[in-house]
Amino acid sequence: MHNPYIVGGWVKGANFYGYQALLNDLLNSEEDALWVIGNRRGGKTSLLRHLEEIASSDARYVPLYWNLEGTETYKGLTEELAYAVEDASYRMGWPDIDPNSFMGKDIRTALRSLTRHAQGNGRKLLLLVDEPEALIALARRAPKSIARLRKTLQSTSGLRTVLVSTRLLLQINEITFKLLTSPFLAGFSPRIMGALTQQEAEDLVHQTHMLKQIYAAPETMDAIHKGTGDQPYLIQYLCFHLFQPDGSLRHPGEPDFIPNDIIAESFSLNWRCMSPNERKVLLLVADREPATLEEMARSSAVEWPVLYAHVYGLLRQEYLTLEGAHFRLQNAFLRIWILANRDELERTSEALVTDTATSALIHSLGSREVAALQNRLMRAQKNLHKLQEQKAVYGADVPLHILNQIEELEKEIKEVTESLERLEELTPEAREVLETVMGDRK
């Protein structure tokens, strides 16, 4: 049996696992300007390519994958867009349009032309932008042009824009904030591309799309969960090395979690995109693992509100995991890398992202997550109330489907409430929601 795990290169279709909730959100959100934040080697290109494939069979959209990597001039944006249209026409039977017709045009004119073409077919243009970090250098050279591009990407009727990048893109806000009424990323609703769910991770390990699936003993699966933190690239890498010709996975040992040069390089790049305060928190957790918030506060010069916010951000970005009241590093690869480079990491002064920019992002993420949980909670409570009224009408002969729905809603309310309670210490918004929607539980 051949080794089915793919390490390096993007995947889509049957080879793509996970992120179903994120994919649904990107297609169905009421917002049309979205920013997905992922780490280096986090599967960002795979997410876009898979989203492109899904959307190609969705009657609402005309998807277009637009890779800005290597774009060095403002004019080059239009050239890359033309190449993207040509590639999509070849691969996906894209609407009949001549990509050469865009050459020499301003990028905003080209984008509006594509949007009108999609609308002429009764659809919305779904623009999937990979490597938008290239816009940082362009913003330094032509900030006003990038400001106008922002308006086109966010405000064009019939256009949905999905940016997928590392947090390095935050730099563009610091370049453009003096020229814009709002920074470049203001108006792009942030999403986090973190770890897979436990079930999604197990599907990836088992390679459930194959007729003969991979076998992993329960203790092996548990070690994979803990060792990789359910990060898709780390799962693929680890399972590639654990694979045996009989279609099973051997149990991993400590040497299997030592990062190779590629993983170490990705960790190093991610470290440079962390703010100084985030680095302090990670080093404190690495030193004291497992660590509580109180222990981190006593051992750092970071003030409580700032500490709470950054811990929340590191949780959402899957650098930390929470077990009860204790925090751990999210996976064994990261733990080994930090401990092996502990002194050098502490001396590292260059941070490509500031604490201020990071705090603004964390606040936006926290506010959005709390609002989404609040809406979900209120909707579940409303539906439960209606079902309980129906149950009362039936008396002793309540239909089974109503009882099952009540049970599911009670379970959902419990899960959402627990999520809000976990956020309560880390975001003031969560505390306010608990007090107003659920009542003060203290």
* Chain center to CA of 415: 21
DSSP code for 210: S
**Beta-bridge partners for 249:** 243
Of the residues 143, 176, 192, the one at which a domain ends: 192
Q: Kindly give the confidence (pLDDT) of every residue in the chain, 442 residues in length, as a single tens digit, with 9 standing for 90 and above.
A: 899 999 988 999 999 999 998 999 999 999 999 999 999 888 999 999 999 999 999 999 999 999 999 899 999 999 999 999 988 887 766 767 887 888 888 999 999 999 998 998 899 999 999 999 999 999 998 888 888 899 999 989 999 999 999 999 999 988 877 665 678 898 899 999 989 999 999 999 999 999 999 999 999 999 999 999 999 999 999 999 999 999 999 999 999 999 999 999 999 999 999 999 899 999 999 998 999 888 888 887 777 777 878 888 888 888 998 887 789 999 999 999 999 999 999 887 678 888 888 888 888 887 778 788 888 899 999 999 999 999 999 888 889 999 999 999 999 898 888 777 766 665 655 555 445 543 433 3
Report CA-CA distances (Å) from 97 to 58, 126, 321.
Answer: 20, 16, 48
Cβ atoms of residues 127 and 115 within 8 Å: no
Q: For the chain, how many structural domains are there in total?
A: 4
Task: Provide the domain limits for residue 202.
Answer: 198-257
Examine residue 180 and state whether it is found in any structural domain, yes or no. yes
Residues 177 and 37 in one domain: yes
Model pTM score: 0.85
How far apart are alpha carbons 58 and 269 in whole angstroms?
36
How far apart are alpha carbons 317 and 78 in whole angstroms?
33
How far apart are alpha carbons 409 and 391 in whole angstroms?
14
Residues 319 and 401 in one domain: no
Report CA-CA distances (Å) from 410 to 21, 22, 82.
Answer: 21, 24, 52
Whose CA is closest to 185, among 5, 37, 320, 52?
Answer: 37
Q: Residue 327: give its domain's CATH number.
A: 1.10.10.10
Residues 247 and 278 in one domain: no
Phi, psi values for residue 12, rounded to 5°: -155, 180
| Host H or E run for residue 320 | strand 320-323
Examine residue 84 and state whether it is found in any structural domain, yes or no. yes
Whose CA is closest to 283, among 261, 301, 259?
Answer: 301
Residues 348 and 379 in one domain: no
Examine residue 134 and state whether it is found in any structural domain, yes or no. yes
